[in-house]
């Protein structure tokens, strides 16, 4: 059955390859490495530190500073890789400042190295006590004495407005000192938000102007990563010492080559591959052996109380073989921050091994000196108990460095977007241009809407004691199922509410052997009701707000829309927090599976035309069957299902509409549409219309024509993207070279031409140039007639009579020559099922932030 999301791993491969090529290694605009208290220089981990005595006089403003070198015996041990940084120190008996010219405004790392030693005129460990501020913000504001006998690196990320960056040392005891200083640009979006507050749960948006100090930076599952292995010269320590009960956990690692970086998620600057390619995982063996064993794996860290902290949790699913195998819970300081979390989810388009991170803010009143982070198995019955963490950063929130401007402005102007790629340039080697962007769509200011009456009715029955549950098994007895399953009388109904036990029985206890599809929403099982009716049972795998919204959307839409070319909803089950949808069973599976990537015999041209026509009818009905158009938003060959007789129906309405609750709580993770099918205009203008579905349907027509995947990364670059490749060929008049060779000989040229023309029109650059679904339907019917007409009777061919919107009925099987009528606001749906479409199905405006794949246009990143 149709997964909610296709996992187009191949696309991801292409994407990450392009990204790697386009992005290259990050080159910081500003980088200073300074060895203090000497004229000597030292090369450490790929960086050359130059002595501050050699720098221009204006850099150091220190009236009485002294250069100190370590007396023998008190120097740093050579075992420390960076020992060369700790032989010298600049010692300040009075306030002193280093000032660095800044080429590029924005975020910079400032690293201060401290190693107190004995020298000619004293002992730094005894004498030093000081504060440090940068740009007037106290980074170290309590009198600080660096720990004796070891090197300490204090790392800050600060926002520099431009011009210069001043680091001021002020002694509060006898002296201040520093051994080495690093100043380094880093990407602004490394800390841009949004972050989630831990208690109470909410959105924290002030991250981009916060000065931060790195307190812990951990690579779960080891090894230690040294500065030379990190593009921003960071150090990542293994988690051995912070892991509370190591026996409950196991280390996992894969080759970094397996990782799939995805634009918009964690860039290589967020953390190096070695962080994501290693993980600490729950020890599943312990859980398997004792079913009842439920435990958390917990890490604990010191953190000075009285400060707020940013926790960045790095995730990458390096253990699963397929998406949706496990979900787990994540806690910070005992508060649940992610429940039933799946790493490979909509953020990653279902792809595995995609590095990403999640940010959480722990308020100053909740940090108590120790910060714990735990992961534990999901409580969902149908998920494997598992969970992992790849990396963790804990950063102290030092203060706002709003740099004088309006902090809210600098916040909102920042679109958290990863981007980029080459672009398809005619005549040159063509590179498929793709990008993943987080679009921040302004939330419409609208008065809070009341739930629609249907939804209210559904809720009432859904939340009731169950007394309204209909016993299963009496439904659907005999007859044409579509007609007899009158789901709910008119607008009040929402289908049968199945008892959980009935669905358990129908699916042999949700037996893995009965799984016929897996998607973002959950697994789809084949089932048989007691009256022998075959059904498809889609079981949502989490209680997240997002899943719940898609669940509601689908029930709400499908229980109002009845059409022979839309997959019917038979009922649902919401007992025990389950989110289960029961559909009519579509015996032949997806249209996709009959086109490519399977062992199934190829469909004939006539079958393909009929399937296309069926799907077009379903979509046309969605667009025009009620007074407000419904946009499917995820039209693809995997969402077109075929019944026993190859009749096509459109499925999967989870994305068709979003409720307001979704916008409030899950804006950042909402994903709409599938890679390879997405309307470029939708991306550019962020405006959704029916024509976006038409575009996606055009891609489906090309799949039907060419029998190949929409994205095939194994092909040469200019061929990877079906829509791009095929439209180019069509423009060059090379139709014969792209048509499915297995059936090419059986297609009548006129029919083929009509079909290809139709596909091409659907793929027009601008929505206004694309035909309406009704026109598409008309053209496809015509193409079918051209195929069916016998060679010598072409002159008597009866064409569908008129242009769309004027004639015909929608409930006839396709009969050549029969006129069709496609009218808006038709009051009778197919199959004679009464379906009054006057109810307001709209609500499509309730869109908020979306992440969209599309052909890419421009990069506004200037780096």
Ligand X SMILES: *[C@@H]1O[C@H](CO)[C@@H](O)[C@H](O)[C@H]1NC(C)=O
Q: Tell me which residues are annotated as active site.
A: 634
Question: How near is the Cβ of 293 to ligand X at its closest, in Å?
Answer: 9
C-alpha span between 207 and 737 (Å, rounded) = 53
From 171-179, 220-228, 348-356, 417-425, span contacting ligand X (CB under 6 A): 220-228
Residues 123-182 touching ligand X, rule: CB under 6 A, are 149
C-alpha span between 520 and 693 (Å, rounded) = 20
- Tokens representing 825 are 């606001």
Which whole-number Å values give the CA distances from 288 to 282, 396, 447, in the listed order? 11, 39, 50
C-alpha span between 295 and 318 (Å, rounded) = 21
| Binding-site residues from annotation for ATP | 538
Query: Of 133 and 229, which CB lies nearer to ligand X in the complex structure?
Result: 229
Task: Please answer whether residues 829 and 624 qualify as being in contact, where contact means their C-beta atoms are separated by less than 8 angstroms.
Answer: no
Which whole-number Å values give the CA distances from 700 to 364, 612, 652, in the listed order? 53, 8, 15
93 binds ligand X (CB under 6 A): no
Angle between helix 690-706 and helix 773-788 axes, rounded to 10 deg: 20
77 binds ligand X (CB under 6 A): yes
Please pick, from the candidates 93, 95, 105, 223, the single residue that binds ligand X as defined by CB under 6 A. Answer: 223
Task: Please answer whether residues 107 and 187 qualify as being in contact, where contact means their C-beta atoms are separated by less than 8 angstroms.
Answer: yes
Question: How near is the Cβ of 2 to ligand X at its closest, in Å?
Answer: 35
Query: Of 193 and 272, which CB lies nearer to ligand X in the complex structure?
Result: 272
DSSP code string of 386-398: --EE-EEEEEEEE
| Binding-site residues from annotation | 538
> What φ, ψ does residue 277 adopt, rounded to 5°?
-85, -5
* Strand ranges inside 342-467, DSSP E: 356-362, 370-377, 384-385, 388-389, 391-400, 435-439
Question: How near is the Cβ of 669 to ligand X at its closest, in Å?
Answer: 23
274 binds ligand X (CB under 6 A): yes
Question: How near is the Cβ of 147 to ligand X at its closest, in Å?
Answer: 11
From 50-58, 289-297, 404-412, 539-547, span contacting ligand X (CB under 6 A): 289-297
483 binds ligand X (CB under 6 A): no
Task: Please answer whether residues 540 and 573 qualify as being in contact, where contact means their C-beta atoms are separated by less than 8 angstroms.
Answer: no
Please pick, from the candidates 16, 96, 196, 374, the single residue that binds ligand X as defined by CB under 6 A. Answer: 374
Question: How near is the Cβ of 624 to ligand X at its closest, in Å?
Answer: 51
Site string for ligand X, 333-372 (x = CB under 6 A): -x--------------------------------------
86 binds ligand X (CB under 6 A): no
C-alpha span between 626 and 549 (Å, rounded) = 22
From 100-108, 134-142, 292-300, 832-840, span contacting ligand X (CB under 6 A): 292-300
Question: How near is the Cβ of 46 to ligand X at its closest, in Å?
Answer: 8
225 binds ligand X (CB under 6 A): yes
Please pick, from the candidates 24, 57, 63, 120, the single residue that binds ligand X as defined by CB under 6 A. Answer: 120
Which whole-number Å values give the CA distances from 204 to 191, 215, 415, in the listed order? 12, 20, 15
First-last CA distance in the chain: 43
From 6-14, 293-301, 638-646, 666-674, span contacting ligand X (CB under 6 A): 293-301
Query: Of 295 and 307, which CB lies nearer to ligand X in the complex structure?
Result: 295
Question: Cα 22 to the chain's mean position, in Å?
Answer: 21
Query: Of 330 and 580, which CB lies nearer to ligand X in the complex structure?
Result: 330
C-alpha span between 601 and 580 (Å, rounded) = 33
**Closest among 783, 780, 738, 740 to 602, alpha carbons compared:** 740
Question: How near is the Cβ of 348 to ligand X at its closest, in Å?
Answer: 24
Please pick, from the candidates 31, 118, 206, 295, the single residue that binds ligand X as defined by CB under 6 A. Answer: 295
C-alpha span between 55 and 122 (Å, rounded) = 26
At 722 the three-state DSSP class reads helix
C-alpha span between 158 and 39 (Å, rounded) = 28
Q: Which residue has the tokens 């439920």?
A: 294
Query: Of 68 and 158, which CB lies nearer to ligand X in the complex structure?
Result: 68
Residues 719-758 touching ligand X, rule: CB under 6 A, are none
> What φ, ψ does residue 212 adopt, rounded to 5°?
-125, 150
Query: Of 329 and 674, which CB lies nearer to ligand X in the complex structure?
Result: 329
221 binds ligand X (CB under 6 A): no
328 binds ligand X (CB under 6 A): no
What is the gyration radius of the CA atoms in the chain, in angstroms? 31
Query: Of 294 and 598, which CB lies nearer to ligand X in the complex structure?
Result: 294
Q: How many CA atoms lie within 13 A of 106 on its CB side?
A: 17
Query: Of 54 and 77, which CB lies nearer to ligand X in the complex structure?
Result: 77
Question: How near is the Cβ of 123 to ligand X at its closest, in Å?
Answer: 13
Question: How near is the Cβ of 274 to ligand X at its closest, in Å?
Answer: 5
331 binds ligand X (CB under 6 A): yes
Residues 581-610 touching ligand X, rule: CB under 6 A, are none
Query: Of 122 and 805, which CB lies nearer to ligand X in the complex structure?
Result: 122
From 100-108, 290-298, 473-481, 733-741, span contacting ligand X (CB under 6 A): 290-298
Please pick, from the candidates 3, 376, 547, 767, the single residue that binds ligand X as defined by CB under 6 A. Answer: 376
C-alpha span between 455 and 557 (Å, rounded) = 10
- The torsion defined by the Cα of 586, 592, 596 and 601, in degrees rounded to 10, comes to 30
Please pick, from the candidates 69, 99, 459, 504, the single residue that binds ligand X as defined by CB under 6 A. Answer: 69
Query: Of 387 and 673, which CB lies nearer to ligand X in the complex structure?
Result: 387
Task: Please answer whether residues 525 and 564 qualify as being in contact, where contact means their C-beta atoms are separated by less than 8 angstroms.
Answer: no
Strand partners, 315: 356
Question: How near is the Cβ of 144 to ligand X at its closest, in Å?
Answer: 20
Question: How near is the Cβ of 276 to ligand X at its closest, in Å?
Answer: 12
C-alpha span between 114 and 97 (Å, rounded) = 16
From 257-265, 291-299, 529-537, 814-822, span contacting ligand X (CB under 6 A): 291-299
296 binds ligand X (CB under 6 A): yes
Query: Of 151 and 640, which CB lies nearer to ligand X in the complex structure?
Result: 151
From 288-296, 396-404, 526-534, 662-670, span contacting ligand X (CB under 6 A): 288-296
From 222-230, 536-544, 604-612, 775-783, span contacting ligand X (CB under 6 A): 222-230
DSSP code string of 634-661: ---GGGEEE-TT--EEE---TTS---HH
At a CB cut-off of 8 Å and minimum separation 6, what does 463 contact? none
Q: Which residue has the tokens 């206890």?
A: 509
Query: Of 385 and 402, which CB lies nearer to ligand X in the complex structure?
Result: 385
648 binds ligand X (CB under 6 A): no
Total residues binding ligand X (CB under 6 A): 16
C-alpha span between 56 and 52 (Å, rounded) = 8
Question: How near is the Cβ of 45 to ligand X at its closest, in Å?
Answer: 10
At a CB cut-off of 8 Å and minimum separation 6, what does 826 contact? 624, 625, 810, 837
- Tokens representing 553 are 């959307």
Q: Which residue has the tokens 């027509």?
A: 701
Interface contacts to ligand X, rule CB under 6 A: 69, 77, 120, 149, 223, 225, 228-229, 274, 294-296, 331, 334, 374, 376
């Amino acid at each position: 059955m149709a997964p909610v999301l296709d996992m187009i791993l191949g696309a991801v491969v292409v994407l990450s390859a392009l990204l790697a090529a386009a992005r290259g290694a990050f080159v910081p605009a500003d980088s200073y490495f300074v060895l203090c208290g000497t004229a000597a220089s030292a090369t450490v981990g790929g960086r050359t530190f130059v002595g501050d005595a050699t720098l221009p006089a204006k850099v150091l403003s220190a009236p009485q500073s002294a250069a100190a070198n370590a007396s023998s015996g008190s120097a740093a041990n050579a075992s420390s890789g960076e020992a060369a940084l700790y032989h010298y120190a600049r010692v300040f008996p009075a306030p002193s400042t280093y000032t660095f010219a800044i080429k590029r405004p924005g975020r910079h790392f400032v690293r201060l190295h401290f190693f107190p030693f004995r020298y000619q005129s004293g002992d730094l460990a005894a004498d030093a006590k000081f504060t440090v501020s940068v740009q007037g913000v106290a980074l170290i504001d309590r009198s600080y004495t660096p720990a004796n006998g070891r090197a300490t690196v204090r790392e800050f990320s600060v926002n520099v407005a431009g011009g210069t960056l001043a680091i001021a040392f002020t002694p509060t005891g006898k002296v201040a000192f520093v051994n080495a200083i690093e100043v380094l640009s880093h990407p602004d979006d490394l800390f841009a938000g949004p972050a989630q507050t831990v208690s109470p749960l909410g959105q924290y948006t002030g991250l981009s102007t916060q000065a931060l100090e790195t307190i812990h930076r951990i690579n779960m599952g080891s090894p230690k990563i040294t500065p030379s292995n990190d593009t921003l010269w960071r150090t990542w320590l293994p988690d051995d010492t912070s892991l509370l009960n190591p026996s409950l956990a196991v280390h996992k690692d894969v080759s970094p080559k397996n990782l799939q970086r995805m634009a918009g998620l964690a860039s290589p600057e967020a953390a190096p591959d070695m962080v994501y390619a290693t993980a600490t995982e729950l020890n599943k063996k312990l859980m398997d052996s004792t079913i009842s064993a439920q435990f958390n794996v917990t890490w604990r860290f010191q953190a000075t109380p009285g400060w707020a902290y940013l926790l960045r949790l790095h995730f990458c699913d390096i253990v699963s073989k397929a998406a949706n195998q496990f979900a787990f819970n994540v806690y910070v300081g005992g508060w649940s921050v992610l429940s039933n979390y799946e790493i490979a989810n909509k953020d990653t388009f279902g792809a595995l091994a995609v590095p990403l991170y999640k940010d959480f803010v722990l308020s100053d009143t909740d940090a108590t000196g120790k910060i714990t982070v735990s992961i534990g198995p999901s409580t969902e019955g149908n998920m494997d108990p598992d969970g992992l963490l790849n990396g963790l950063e804990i950063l102290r929130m030092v203060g706002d460095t709003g740099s004088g401007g309006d902090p809210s402005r600098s916040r909102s102007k920042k679109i958290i977007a990863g981007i980029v790629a080459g672009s398809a340039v005619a005549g040159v080697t063509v590179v498929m241009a793709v990008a993943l962007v987080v679009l921040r769509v302004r939330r419409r200011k609208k008065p809070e809407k009341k739930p629609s009456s249907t939804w209210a009715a559904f809720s009432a029955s859904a939340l009731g004691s169950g007394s309204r549950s209909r016993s299963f098994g009496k439904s659907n007895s005999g007859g044409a199922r579509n007609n007899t399953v009158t789901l709910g009388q008119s607008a009040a109904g929402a289908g049968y509410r199945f008892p959980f036990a009935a669905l358990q029985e129908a699916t042999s206890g949700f037996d893995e052997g009965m799984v016929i599809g897996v998607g973002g929403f959950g697994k789809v099982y084949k089932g048989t009701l007691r009256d022998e009716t075959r059904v498809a049972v889609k079981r949502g795998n989490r209680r997240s707000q997002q899943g719940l919204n898609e669940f509601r959307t689908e029930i709400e839409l499908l229980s109002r829309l009845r059409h022979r070319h839309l997959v019917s909803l038979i009922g649902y089950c919401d007992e025990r927090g389950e989110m289960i949808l029961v559909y009519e069973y579509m015996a032949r599976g997806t249209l996709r599976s009959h086109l490519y990537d399977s062992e199934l015999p190829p469909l004939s041209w006539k079958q393909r035309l009929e399937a296309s026509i069926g799907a077009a009818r379903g979509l046309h009905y969605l667009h025009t069957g009620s007074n407000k158009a419904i946009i499917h938003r995820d039209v693809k060959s995997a969402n077109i299902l075929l019944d026993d007789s190859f009749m096509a129906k459109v499925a999967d309405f989870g994305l068709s509409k979003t409720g307001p609750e979704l916008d409030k709580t899950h804006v950042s993770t909402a994903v709409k549409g599938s890679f390879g099918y997405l309307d470029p205009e939708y991306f550019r203008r962020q405006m959704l219309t029916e024509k976006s579905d038409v575009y996606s349907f055009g891609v489906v027509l090309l799949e039907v024509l060419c029998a190949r995947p929409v994205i095939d990364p194994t092909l040469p670059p200019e061929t990877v993207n079906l829509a791009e490749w095929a439209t180019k060929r069509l423009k060059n008049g090379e139709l014969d070279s792209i048509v499915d060779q297995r059936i090419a000989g059986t297609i009548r040229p006129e029919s083929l031409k009509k079909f290809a023309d139709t596909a091409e029109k659907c793929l027009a650059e601008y929505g206004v140039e694309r035909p309406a679904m009704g026109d598409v339907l008309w053209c496809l019917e015509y193409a079918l007639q051209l195929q069916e007409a016998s060679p010598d009777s072409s002159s008597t061919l009866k064409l569908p009579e008129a242009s769309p919107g004027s004639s015909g009925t929608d409930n006839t099987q396709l009969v050549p020559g029969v006129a069709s009528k496609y009218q808006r606001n038709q009051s009778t749906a197919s199959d004679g099922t009464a379906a009054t479409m006057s109810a307001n199905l709209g609500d499509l405006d309730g869109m908020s932030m979306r992440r969209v794949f599309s052909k890419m246009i421009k990069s506004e990143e200037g780096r």
